[in-house]
Chains A and B, each alone.
Chain A
Amino acid sequence: MHDVAAETVKFIDLNTANILFLVIVGFIGGLVSGFIGSGGAFVLTPGMMSLGVPGTVAVASNMCHKFPKAMVGAYKRFKYGQVDIKLGLVMAASAGGGVWVGINIQQWILNQWGEAGSNLYVSLSFVIILVVVGGYVFYDAWKTARTGGEEKVCALAQWLQSINLPPMMHFKTANIRISMWFTLPIGFATGMLAATIAVGGFIGVPGMIYVLGVSGLVASASELVIAFVMGFGGSIKWAMSGMVDIRLTLLILAGSLFGVQLGAIGTTYVKEHMIKVVMGSIMLIVAVSRALAIPTYLKDLELITVADSTNKTLMTASFLSMCFALGMGALIILGAMWRAKRAEAKEAAVALEKSYGKV
């Protein structure tokens, strides 16, 4: 029965355009991932589907690239002292539960309302969560930038850290001491969101920052550990169903392994609140992108009527704005790195001149 299922799955033929697309989008996705701890998946999966890859193969192949990319990114950022492995693993444990519940909810919705209903659920989740969380992250980054770039632990996190509810856990790199019970909902929500929209980090990273009181730098770095664990588990599951198109995975990896390391290097150049700026911006634009796709799903469920041409325009606009989100994130990261590197070179030149003066 399994072989029949595998036979009916279509694996696309690759041409130069497909190959270049995957490598380039892989690079940009990796760059963003290395910097903010998540991202890329929300463009790669629909991107592959726009090449004709069936949905399940796209999700499976993407996931199979996600965990090695996260591993390389986490290793790089670990060398910079940014990864709290214990925090990542504790969150990954509860994320597993979230993934399981998320998948079951998806299955139930699929059974009740079919694919259109499932797509609508996914898109609504995108829009609500990304607007609320992304908006707050962006606002916080703007506030931090205005007050001189010094990140402060928010009041909620300070309060939660002061509550003594055993078992208390100490996370050395994150420099926080908090009850394990408060890590559970964040990890759980991360897993659930990952199962729903494929990007758990959009809850995981802000959750670690605003609920647990971890810095943006450590949160985004530790998120890569969670991504690795979840991606690894999910990939095994998909690979056992024969859904991974290794060619697509390897092409994406060709670009993303360059991108993720560049993004990791970038975090050492920029002010910490830049991570929030990039994350908030991407989340808000992706929310718009998903909102543009909602009328199509409402039409598929026969809740509203939409002309075919309008439909096509909306879906194209949705896809393009998603690519724009990722591209813009990449430009912000590269721009910030460029400015920081120039400033560093200038400082070094000034110091050198001064040392000549002393001789």
Chain B
Amino acid sequence: MAKASDSNRAKMIGKTAGLGLAAAGLYAAVFLNADTVMKYFTKGAWYAALPVATVFIFSFVHGAFASEFWSLMGIEATKKAQPKPTAAKRPAARKRPRPQLRIDT
């Protein structure tokens, strides 16, 4: 059992490190080419897709890295992470006339 948790932890460390390297690579790519990046990213009009797409990519990679990092540090949500439902009063009963069969005599 100890071996399983050791290998789990090793996997976690590997995954975190991998994501960290990927995030660092992305940051390096942008900041080492800052002048070119700024030239195209601030051109406006259709070039607006560049900054928007970039932040999405960074969010996925760096966000995943941050998530794995906190898990590796042992900082995770508690088991009881389900919220209690809000105890609101039921709305007033609506009076809908029920269809009634009438027989004309």
A residues adjacent to B (C-beta < 8 A): 2, 6, 9, 11, 64-65, 67-69, 71-72, 76, 79-82, 151-153, 157-158, 161-164, 168, 173-177, 213-215, 217-218, 235-236, 239-247, 249-250, 253-254, 257-258, 261-262, 264-265, 268-269, 272, 340, 344
Task: Given A176-B88, A261-B70, verify A246-B81 contact (CB < 8 Å).
Answer: no
**Which B residues are in CB contact (< 8 Å) with A157?**
88
C-alpha spacing A268/B52, complex, angstroms: 31
For the complex of A and B, the 8 pairs showing the least CB-CB separation, nearest first, are A239-B48, A242-B44, A68-B59, A242-B42, A268-B77, A175-B85, A80-B81, A72-B63
Contact A253 B59 (CB under 8 A): yes
**Which A residues are in CB contact (< 8 Å) with B55?**
64-65, 67-68, 235, 246, 249-250, 253
Contact B69 A258 (CB under 8 A): yes
Contact B85 A64 (CB under 8 A): no
Contact A71 B86 (CB under 8 A): no
**Which A residues are in CB contact (< 8 Å) with B91?**
161-164, 168, 177
Contact B86 A153 (CB under 8 A): yes
**Which B residues are in CB contact (< 8 Å) with A250?**
27, 30, 54-55, 58
B residues adjacent to A (C-beta < 8 A): 27, 30-31, 34, 37-38, 41-45, 47-52, 54-56, 58-59, 62-63, 66-67, 69-70, 75-78, 80-89, 91-92, 94
Contact B62 A254 (CB under 8 A): yes
**Which A residues are in CB contact (< 8 Å) with B27?**
250, 254
C-alpha spacing A67/B56, complex, angstroms: 9
Shortest C-beta distance, B46 to chain A (Å), equals 8
Contact B92 A249 (CB under 8 A): no
Q: How many A-B contacts if CB must be within 8 Å?
A: 153
**Which B residues are in CB contact (< 8 Å) with A64?**
51-52, 55
Task: Given A11-B42, A64-B51, A244-B41, verify A153-B78 contact (CB < 8 Å).
Answer: no
Contact B38 A161 (CB under 8 A): no
Task: Given A65-B55, A72-B59, A258-B69, verify A240-B48 contact (CB < 8 Å).
Answer: yes
Contact B86 A253 (CB under 8 A): no
Contact A176 B86 (CB under 8 A): yes
Nearest-neighbor residue (CB-CB) of B62 within chain A: A257
**Which B residues are in CB contact (< 8 Å) with A177?**
91
Shortest C-beta distance, A56 to chain B (Å), equals 12
Contact of B58 among A161, A175, A253 (CB under 8 A): A253
Task: Given A247-B31, A253-B58, A344-B78, verify A241-B88 contact (CB < 8 Å).
Answer: no
5 A-B pairs within 8 Å (CB atoms) are namely: A2-B45, A80-B83, A213-B86, A250-B55, A268-B81
Task: Given A250-B55, A258-B69, A265-B75, verify A153-B89 contact (CB < 8 Å).
Answer: yes
Contact of A246 among B37, B75, B86 (CB under 8 A): B37
Contact B94 A268 (CB under 8 A): no
